[in-house]
Amino acid sequence: MIGLREVASECAGTALLLFGGLSAVAFSLSENSPLGSLFPNEIMRRLIASVLFAAIATLIIYSPLGKISGGHINPAITITFTGLGKLSLFGAAAYVASQFTGAIAGAAVAQIAWGRRLDDINAGSTRPEYGGVWFALAAEMLATSLMLWVIVSFVKRGRLAPYTPVAAGIVIAIVAFFSAPFYGASMNPARSLGPAIIGGVWGGLWVYFVAPSIAALVVVSLNRYRIIPCAKLIHDPAYSCPFKNCLISQKARAGDVSV
């Protein structure tokens, strides 16, 4: 059952994601970036920022915080597993609220810490650029669907499940590198909300709520009749599982050593 410990861990994990991710973007892409003299090419610096952001997310999921909460740190992931029957509506609401709270807190700390560097990149906000909001909506929906599909595909396969965070991180890094200049490539409503509030950049924000939500519903519909063992992105037997119908915990209690 989801409790305060899990919700607090999810909040803290999302806060770390925003602080670490925005710090990586600020130091890679802001004016007078410390990396500018080493990598004058903006493409190389964008690659570094994308890899660092994805690596931070992956490390958070593998950390004790991720092992306690399941490491969603993204409302789209929580919505997906709720649709697949792994969270109650109350538990999902608590997780999403904690993710948004953590994202705002993480973005605020990043703003306090880096100030002008973050201002140079509009607080790291995600906005529709080339192609406008409808292109951004379609691209964000496809990118988020891909990420969610990879997560669910890895989670439901025992041998691949431990590598779920790595697989998701690779998708995030690739999509962010190629797509961020065009529409922000958020794939995470909380990641978009935090900088929007801190930086006061609201244009097209609805895209980064609507597209991931649609993507989650699409992935749920494609996996509705498949067996999903658990909603945790990384399952460590040393940490209790708060999610509904966790088949991994059930097998462990039954003494199935193959889990």
Averaged over 184-190, what is the pLDDT?
A: 96
pLDDT at residue 177 above 70? yes
Quote the percentage of the chain above a pLDDT of 90. 78
- More confident of the two residues 14 and 39: 14
Helices (H) and strands (E) in the chain, counts: 11, 0
| Least confident span in 65-74, 80-89, 245-254 | 245-254
Question: What pLDDT was estimated at residue 259?
Answer: 46
Averaged over 58-66, what is the pLDDT?
A: 98
The whole-angstrom separation of Cα 224 and Cα 222 is 6
Which residue, 113, 26, 16, 111, is CA-closest to 65?
16
What number of CA atoms fall less than 13 Å from residue 226's CA on the CB side?
15
pLDDT in tens, 132-169: 899 999 999 999 999 999 999 999 998 999 999 999 99
pLDDT at residue 229 above 70? yes
CB 205 within 8 Å of CB 131: no
The DSSP call for residue 188 is: -
pLDDT band, very low/low/confident/very high, at 234 (cuts 50, 70, 90): very high
Maximum separation of any 2 CA atoms in the chain, in Å: 58
Say what the pTM is: 0.94
Question: What pLDDT was estimated at residue 255?
Answer: 66
pLDDT band, very low/low/confident/very high, at 257 (cuts 50, 70, 90): very low
pLDDT at residue 33 above 80? no
Q: Which domains does the chain have, with CATH numbers?
A: 4-228+242-253 (1.20.1080.10)
Q: Which segments within 109-237 are labelled E, that is strand?
A: none
Question: What pLDDT was estimated at residue 47?
Answer: 95
CB 183 within 8 Å of CB 135: yes
pLDDT at residue 88 above 50? yes
Averaged over 24-45, what is the pLDDT?
A: 84
| Least confident span in 39-43, 67-71, 159-163, 211-215 | 39-43
Question: What pLDDT was estimated at residue 253?
Answer: 67
The DSSP call for residue 194 is: H
Question: What pLDDT was estimated at residue 162?
Answer: 95
CA distances to 100, 109, 194 from 104, in Å: 6, 9, 4
Q: What residue type is assigned to position 244 of the chain?
A: K
Question: What pLDDT was estimated at residue 41?
Answer: 83
Question: What pLDDT was estimated at residue 42?
Answer: 87
Q: What is the mean pLDDT of the chain?
A: 93
